[in-house]
Amino acid sequence: MANNQIEEEIEPRIIETLDDALEELSFDTNQQVRVLRTHDDREVIIIQPNAFTISRIYATGRPDGRRPQGFESYHSHLYEKLDTYERQNGSDEGFNMETEEWQTLFDECYDRYIRYLLFAGIKRWAEVKHDTDQNLGVADMAYKYASPEITWQIYQYKGYILMMNSIARAELALQINEHETARKEIDKGIQKIGKFCAECLREGYHEAENITRERYLQNLIEFRTDINSITNQSELEDNETSEVIIPEENETRYGAEDDEFLDELEILLQEMNSS
């Protein structure tokens, strides 16, 4: 039987503040994800899957809104540390970081992963591209400067990050009806994932290679097929009519239903809050 005894007291004003926030935001089943703007002009994504739960993610900088060491993110702080080392030593040879620094950086990457999953769900592909670019940069940084034991804590997920990055780039191209550009972005992603799979096999990470090949590589191949279908349909319509065809905004081509997306996001948010 679970131990539900109260272990510590909390100031009533804290609970009152939470109550006020829940009342102010007023749960709406038809609008469970909202984008708000603070007085200092920062965007905040509010996720409210039910009347009793609220999560917030900042749209820029760190997802939790903090500024470590005065920088936009811990990622920016450590890149400044690397730049300083290179200026002082003439190269990056010998650069290293403490295990705790890598772990803090990886934790930030996980929070960024939750954010770009959210952004993908609401079709903000520019932000998905930005966050996946940053996580890819961290993975490559670890591969270059950290020990294998530290590196593969994040590097094993590079195939997934590459997939999401390629999809984001392709979606941005599709938004402006650049089908050929979208196809090229997917082709580049397929090549990069193939190279990553070879790295996994070469270094003995067979499970990471298998998951990447069977899931993420296959997803991009299917995505490319869908792009071809869209392109062929568009060309057919152009041949049948001289009218300008305007693509629907926010057309959903890929991904789960909205409620499934919210369920998955809520699980991830709970994991982040408990870690």
Over its length of 275 residues, how does the chain's per-residue pLDDT go in tens digits? Answer: 455 666 677 788 888 888 888 787 777 778 788 888 888 888 998 888 888 888 889 999 999 989 988 998 999 999 999 999 999 999 999 999 999 999 999 999 999 999 999 999 999 999 999 999 999 999 999 999 999 999 999 999 999 999 999 999 999 999 999 999 999 999 999 999 999 999 999 999 999 999 999 999 999 999 999 998 887 665 555 555 545 444 444 333 434 445 555 555 555 555 544 55
What strands, in cross-sheet order, belong to the sheet with 53-58?
33-37, 43-50, 53-58
Range list of β-strands (E), 31-174: 33-37, 43-50, 53-58
Tokens of 5: 């005894």
* Helices of type H across 176-217: 179-202, 206-211
Looking at the whole model, is its pTM more than 0.95? no
**Pair 117, 265: CB distance under 8 Å:** yes
- Please give the C-alpha separations between residue 88 and each of 6, 92, 101, 165, 194, in angstroms, as whole numbers: 54, 9, 21, 34, 37
